[in-house]
Chains A and B, each alone.
Chain A
Amino acid sequence: MEMLYHSVRDIVSLSEKYQIPMWQVIMKKDMEERQVTKEETFETMHHMYLSMKQADQEYDKDLVSASKLAGGDGGKIHVYNKAGKNLMGDYASLVMEKAIKMGESNACMKRIVAAPTAGSCGVIPAVFLSYQELFDVAEDKMVEALFLCAGIGEVIAENACIAGASGGCQAEIGSASAMAAAGLAYLQGGDNDMIVNAMTLALKNMLGLTCDPVCGLVEVPCIKRNSAGAVNAVASAQLSLAGIKSAIPADEVIDSMRRIGNDMPKCLKETGEGGLAVTQTAQRLRAYQGLADGEKNTTF
Chain B
Amino acid sequence: MNLYDIIGPVMVGPSSSHTAGAVRIGYISGKLLDEPVKSAKILLYGSFLATGTGHGTRKALVAGLLGMKPDDTRIPDSLSIAKEQGISIIFGEAQMKEAHPNSAELILQGVSGKTLEIVGESLGGSRINIARIDGIATNFSGDYPTLVVHNLDQPGHVTEVTSMLAHKSVNIATMQLYRNSRGGEAVMVLECDQEIPRDSIKWLEHLEGIQKVTYLSLL
Query: Which residues does A use to contact B, with CB under 8 Å?
Result: 26, 29-30, 33-34, 41, 44-45, 47-48, 51, 65-67, 105-119, 121, 124, 146-147, 149-151, 153-154, 157-158, 162-163, 165, 179, 215-219, 289-292, 294-300
Contacts and interface: CB of A to CB of B under 8 A. Distances in A.
Contacts of A290: 53
Contacts of A154: 1, 3, 6
A118 B10 contact: no
Nearest to B72: A111
B178 interface: no
Nearest to A218: B14
A44 B4 contact: yes
B58 A295 contact: yes
A113 B13 contact: no
B197 interface: no
Contacts, number: 144
Given A105-B13, A106-B13, A294-B79, A216 B47 contact: yes
A297 B50 CA distance: 12
A34 B1 CA distance: 11
Contacts of B125: 163
24 contacts: A33-B2, A48-B10, A67-B54, A108-B13, A111-B11, A111-B12, A113-B11, A114-B8, A118-B15, A124-B7, A149-B6, A157-B5, A158-B1, A163-B125, A218-B14, A219-B14, A292-B53, A294-B79, A295-B52, A295-B79, A296-B91, A297-B91, A299-B93, A300-B43
3 tightest Cβ-Cβ pairs between the two chains A and B: A106-B13, A153-B6, A216-B51
B55 interface: yes
Interface of B: 1-16, 19-20, 43-44, 47, 50-56, 58-59, 71, 73, 75-76, 79-80, 83, 90-93, 124-125
A113 B10 contact: yes
A238 B73 CA distance: 37
Contacts of B54: 65-67, 215-217, 219, 289
Contact of A117 (B16, B52, B76, B92): B16
B12 A110 contact: yes
Contacts of A117: 16
A116 B5 CA distance: 7
A111 B8 contact: no
Contact of A48 (B4, B14, B55, B83): B4
A218 B13 contact: yes
B19 to A, nearest CB: 7
A44 B19 CA distance: 23
A119 B54 CA distance: 13
Contacts of B1: 154, 157-158
A290 B53 CA distance: 8
Contacts of A153: 6-7
A113 B92 contact: no
B143 to A, nearest CB: 14
Contacts of A149: 6-7
Contact of A111 (B10, B79, B83): B10
A119 B15 contact: yes
Residue of B11, B75, B90 contacting most chain A CB atoms (<10 Å)? B11
A299 B92 CA distance: 6
B90 A298 contact: yes
Contacts of B3: 26, 29-30, 41, 45, 147, 150-151, 154
Nearest to A105: B13
A186 B156 CA distance: 62
B57 to A, nearest CB: 9
Contacts of B83: 294
Contacts of B53: 66-67, 289-292, 295
Contacts of B44: 297
B51 A118 contact: no
